[in-house]
Each structure stands twice: as C-alpha cells, then as structure tokens.
Structure 1
Amino acid sequence: MRYRLRHTTRYEYSSAVTLSHNEARLKVRELPWQHGEHAAFDIEPTATRLHERHDFFGNHVLYFAIQDVHDAMAVTATSEVVTDATQLPQFNYTQSWEHAVQQLRSTALQHSPDTYEARLFTMNSNYIKRSRDLAAFARRSFTPHRPLTEALLDLNARIFHEFTYDPEFSSLATPITEVMASKRGVCQDFAHLAIGALRSIGLAARYVSGYLETDPPPGQTKLIGADASHAWLSVWIPDAGWMDIDPTNGGVLTERYLTLGWGRDYADVPPLKGVMSGGGNHSLHVEVDVLPI
C-alpha cells in the first residue's frame, strides 16, 4: 500500500513566547516492510535553527528552535509511505514463554546483540513499573508452559475485550494501576498496561508510536484530519525478532500500520516536545491524515 501521511500540531499560547526549543519524532522509520518518501516539515513561525539526528533507539529526531516572538506555533510533517505485507515478519514460535524468559536471563547469551538489546526492555521506565499486580494480570494468559505467541495473542484479546476505549478517562499522569482497575483508557494506556504486565513476568516489550489507517463509518466519507496518532507494542521472540500486537484493536501488525519509532514507553517517543520561555497557558490541536493513494 502507498499512503500520504500528514500530521499537523498547533499550539496557541495565552501570552507571547520569546524562545522555544523543540524535538519532533514525526518521520517514519525505515523497515523491511516500510519505506518513507518525500518527507518534509513545515514550521511556523520559521525556525532559526534545524538539526536532524537519530536517538538512542534509532528514531529520527528533528530539532528546531524558534527565536522570534510568537503566540502560536504549527508543525506539519508530510510524507509518502509504502508498506509491503509480504515483508512483514512471520512468527511460528512454539517454545514456551518461560523459555523466552530464560533466554533473556542467560549469561551465556548476554553478549548476543539481539538479546542485549531486548534486555533493555525488561526494566522499569518512566511510565511503566513492574509489579505483582501486573504479573498476576499477565499470568491469566501466561499459564505454565504455554507457547509464547499463543499467550501473547490471548493477552492482546483480553485487553481488547475487557477494556473500554475512553479518550476522556486518562492523561499521561494516569498510572497503569488506575487503568487496570477502571478498565478504561486509550491506546497508549493499553500499550503501557500490556508492556508492564509482560515485563513483570520477565519478558521484553517495547512501546511503538505510529499511525493506523482507519475507515469512516459505513456510508460516510472519510473526514480530513479524522485520523490520529496510535500506539501499540512489540514483544521480543527469541531467534525470531520483535512481534507487534495492538491491544486497542485486538490485532497484530498489518500493512495498514505506519511505524514512527519505539522506546521504553511514551516518554521516549512523543511526536513533539519542547521547552519555551513565556507562553502562559496553551491550547493544543492535532490533525492527522493517513490517506491511501
């Protein structure tokens, strides 16, 4: 599939901003099944400094500074993205989930590049802390000697069926324990919940930021700006790589998913973040379009 991707973020401030420094993670990653073309950024007011780099996790980062006095800022990232379903990783892993935990803990494998990277995603992070309650939640799916991929799909389905998508319920400050108790949240909450549960039983899981092509209601035309950023997770499968699951929709990675980047949790891959001098209060408006072309 070929998509035209457009992501616009607008801030309006209650008082003047005299200086701002910002980082944008809005360029898709190059992956075997995903290729980005014609990427461009439009920044208003015009940025006086621009610098591109890759962060610790390999995500593309655009740094920019605005030194003119302003009371609003808009950042638009556009690109074309080609996805290929035939290149998506396939998983037919029959080993138990306990075997994967043993692989991660094995001192004999600690210098393996893949295992070494995966071990990073077993530890606590800013928004995700391992706990007994999360381990108990995971073990409803991860029963003794159950195949790893089978248990993952069961956990994925449980969150999809047992939890309610509610954009009014949570914020970045809402802890996983509250999401689990209330059984409500949004995609980043469900990704954090699943990651926390998996890490609490010794597995490696990372947070993935991106987009998902959505369909309009039956009989209606798709509205411009109606899409949104999305979040899901990847789980390390020994000798096979990373398996993506999406508990918000109860499915796995398809060609309709566009991957921006990944990290330990949301704090590592926010689409846009920054610091500024002045500004007072602000309002935020985001528009996303994922259009097949």
Structure 2
Amino acid sequence: MNSMPRSVTYDIVHETKYTYSEPVAVCLNQLRMRPQTRPPSVVCNQCNVTIEPAPAKVDTHPDYFGNVVDSFAIESHHESLMVKVTSQVQVSAVNPFDSPSIPTVAEVVHAIRTGQTEADLFAKEYVFASPRIPLAAHFAEYARPIVNDASSILDAVLQLTKHIHNDFQYDSTATDVTTTTQSAFELKAGVCQDFSHVQIACLRSLGLPARYVSGYLRTLPPPGKPRLIGNDESHAWISVYAGEALGWIDFDPTNACQIGLDHIPVCVGRDYDDISPMRGIVLGGGQTTLAVKVDVAPVELPTEVGPPA
C-alpha cells in the first residue's frame, strides 16, 4: 500500500505584466510575493525577484506582519512593467487534530481576553475590526450555532469552514477586489477573498483571533490530461489562533478544508489590504492592461540511496 507523501516541494513562478497605452515616467511599487518560512510546515528554500525594466535599487525588508516586501522605483520612461518571482517551497503535512490537548472555543476566548501569555497578547490584535473586515452581531449570530455545537476550537472552525462553503456560491462574476465583506455576506456569493473575509468577520465577532492568508493552490488536471503551465491560482484562506500550544491553524473556506499539501502560504495580515501582492502608483501610462500567470509545479526530488550493506 502506497502511503501519502508527508511533504511536497514546489517550484513556483508568479509573473505579473502591466502594459501601458502611453509611456510611464515614474512608478513606485511594493511587492508581497515572497513565500515565508513557517515552521514546522513550510520552508522557503529560495526566492528570486526579476523586474523589467530594472530599477536602480530594490529595498527588501519585513513589514509589520512579518511579510517580506520588495520596494522599488523606476524613474525612466517605460511602456510595460514585468515582475517575475520564482520560488522553491517545501510544504510538510501537519495535523493539529492529532494533538492530545485541543482547547475549546471558550478557553481560547478567555485566554485572549485575559492575555495569559505573550502568544495570547500577540494574537489579540487579530480579534479587532480591520479596514476590510467589520465586527457585527449578525456575523456572530451566523456562526454561533455552529461553533456552540463543536467539541473544540479546531472542530468549531472546521465546521464553520464547511458551512460557509456550502452556504455561499463560488461566483467570480458576483464580486470584485473592492467588494465589502458585508456585501459578500448579503450576496452569499463571491471568490476566495470574500469567503475568507466573511469567515474572519464571524470568528472575530465571536472573540476569536483570525487573520487573512494569501498564497497559492496547486490545481490537479483531470485524469489523463496534462498539467497546464501557468494555470494554477493565487489563492486566499484564513488562519485562526488555537491557543499557545497549537498556535495558528489554517483553513480554506473556498474548498471546505483544513489546508494541506496543496496550499502554499505567502503572506499574512488582517485582511486583503495588508497583503495585496503588488501595489503602487504611476505617473502617466494611459490605459493599463494587466496579465498574470501563476505556475505551481511539484519537484521530483532524487531518492536518497544509502551505502551498500
């Protein structure tokens, strides 16, 4: 019997190209596209950023949330901008449900309110409203019946994850990047950003710290079909604080699951505004055309061979 792999190594290419109808004189940009190392499940082995035209200088630094940011300026006329980020990331399987002691929702909420440990105090900032995610009684009321029936914090979040997946329709035409969390909640439709914002609003409204995660999702072709290069996706999901011992555990409401070997996290923040992959300003440019390609390819690593007996 073949056992499931305990880890997968991926080569990831994320290419973003802006084409302008008129020359751009100056652009200032920030990139948040470098995958993080998040022990024990994620290790970023290498990451390279290529920018064309090449800026005079790239300043690489961590932001407040620990994400790696590349800031750059191009001060010469250009009619296109291409950013290519290539990474190699190893993702290992971790099952927090195997823990012998998993706290209840009430225990986590109490720990956050009383600030019992340094980890609790750090997590507490993720229990408040953020620019894209409000707190409201109706979010708590939506989630409370599901959470109250759960035996633990992990069971509660997993059941809420599945409930949102079943209750909401995945519809890429229903919302856009500017859609509010309240609008998505009323529509009961949207994409991964909307599903994640809604679930975070529910958890925070119950007093549970939750944060937004950006990353990649490996997509598998239908049986007998080749994998399409550049056809993988940027994705988003949520991370909930499950107490000091377990820390932050990630769930994917779009796919009704705890994240696994197919998920590669990149950045974390309070909501999408904290981790948008590329943001900036340009002087000039006219009309802009954007093209994005993402490729997530498992790496076939050589098998280690021991010395002869």
Question: Taking structure 2 as the reference length, what is the TM-score of the superposition?
Answer: 0.89
CA distance in 1, matches of 2:204, 2:240: 10
**Are the aligned partners of 1:51 and 1:64 in contact in 2 as well (CA < 8 Å)?**
yes
CA distance in 2, matches of 1:94, 1:263: 25
Q: 2:110 aligns with which of 94, 98, 102?
A: 102
Counterpart amino acid of residue 281 in structure 2: V
**Are the aligned partners of 1:98 and 1:145 in contact in 2 as well (CA < 8 Å)?**
no
Q: Does 1:44 align with 2:52?
A: yes
How do 1:159-198 and structure 2 match up within 5 A?
A: 159-198=164-203
**Are the aligned partners of 2:18 and 2:82 in contact in 1 as well (CA < 8 Å)?**
yes
How do 1:47-126 and structure 2 match up within 5 A?
A: 47-85=55-93, 88=94, 90-91=96-97, 92=99, 93-106=101-114, 109=116, 112-126=117-131
Task: Indicate the residue corresponding to 2:222 in structure 1.
Answer: 217
Task: Indicate the residue corresponding to 1:23 in structure 2.
Answer: 30
Question: Which aligned segments of 4 or more residues in structure 1 are displaced greater than 2 angstroms?
Answer: 91-96, 144-147
1:172, distance to aligned residue in structure 2 (A) = 2.2
1:105, distance to aligned residue in structure 2 (A) = 0.6
Equivalent pairs, count: 288
* Alpha carbons of structure 1 residues 94 and 53: separation in structure 2 relative to 1, 3 Å: closer
Task: Indicate the residue corresponding to 1:256 in structure 2.
Answer: 262
Q: 1:283 aligns with which of 286, 289, 292?
A: 289
Counterpart amino acid of residue 85 in structure 2: A
| Structure 1 unaligned spans of 5+ | none
SS of 2:54's equivalent in the other structure is coil
* Alpha carbons of structure 1 residues 147 and 83: separation in structure 2 relative to 1, 3 Å: closer
| Structure 2 unaligned spans of 5+ | 1-7, 300-309
CA distance in 2, matches of 1:135, 1:235: 15
Percent sequence identity over matched residues? 36
**Are the aligned partners of 1:30 and 1:36 in contact in 2 as well (CA < 8 Å)?**
yes
SS of 1:135's equivalent in the other structure is helix
SS of 1:202's equivalent in the other structure is coil
CA distance in 1, matches of 2:9, 2:133: 34
**Are the aligned partners of 1:5 and 1:289 in contact in 2 as well (CA < 8 Å)?**
yes
Task: Indicate the residue corresponding to 1:156 in structure 2.
Answer: 161
Q: Could you report, residue by residue, the CA deviation over 1:176-225 in whole angstroms, capped at 9, with x for unpaired residues?
A: 22212222111111110000000011110000111111101233212111
1:143, distance to aligned residue in structure 2 (A) = 1.8
CA distance in 2, matches of 1:118, 1:37: 27
1:122, distance to aligned residue in structure 2 (A) = 0.4
Q: 1:5 aligns with which of 9, 12, 24?
A: 12
Q: Could you report, residue by residue, the CA deviation over 1:74-96 in whole angstroms, capped at 9, with x for unpaired residues?
A: 100002112222xx252445433
1:14, distance to aligned residue in structure 2 (A) = 2.6
**Are the aligned partners of 1:22 and 1:63 in contact in 2 as well (CA < 8 Å)?**
yes
Counterpart amino acid of residue 8 in structure 1: E
The alignment's C-alpha RMSD in Å is 1.5
Tell me whether 259-268 or 12-21 shows the greater mean CA deviation.
12-21
**Are the aligned partners of 2:219 and 2:233 in contact in 1 as well (CA < 8 Å)?**
no
CA distance in 1, matches of 2:74, 2:42: 32
**Are the aligned partners of 2:218 and 2:233 in contact in 1 as well (CA < 8 Å)?**
no
SS of 1:140's equivalent in the other structure is helix
SS of 1:249's equivalent in the other structure is coil
Q: Does 1:236 align with 2:241?
A: yes
* Alpha carbons of structure 1 residues 132 and 66: separation in structure 2 relative to 1, 3 Å: same
* Alpha carbons of structure 1 residues 145 and 75: separation in structure 2 relative to 1, 3 Å: closer
CA distance in 1, matches of 2:124, 2:287: 40
* Alpha carbons of structure 1 residues 267 and 246: separation in structure 2 relative to 1, 3 Å: same
Counterpart amino acid of residue 92 in structure 2: D
Q: 1:226 aligns with which of 209, 231, 254?
A: 231
Counterpart amino acid of residue 259 in structure 1: P
CA distance in 1, matches of 2:106, 2:90: 37
Counterpart amino acid of residue 13 in structure 1: Y
CA distance in 2, matches of 1:235, 1:80: 26
SS of 1:214's equivalent in the other structure is coil
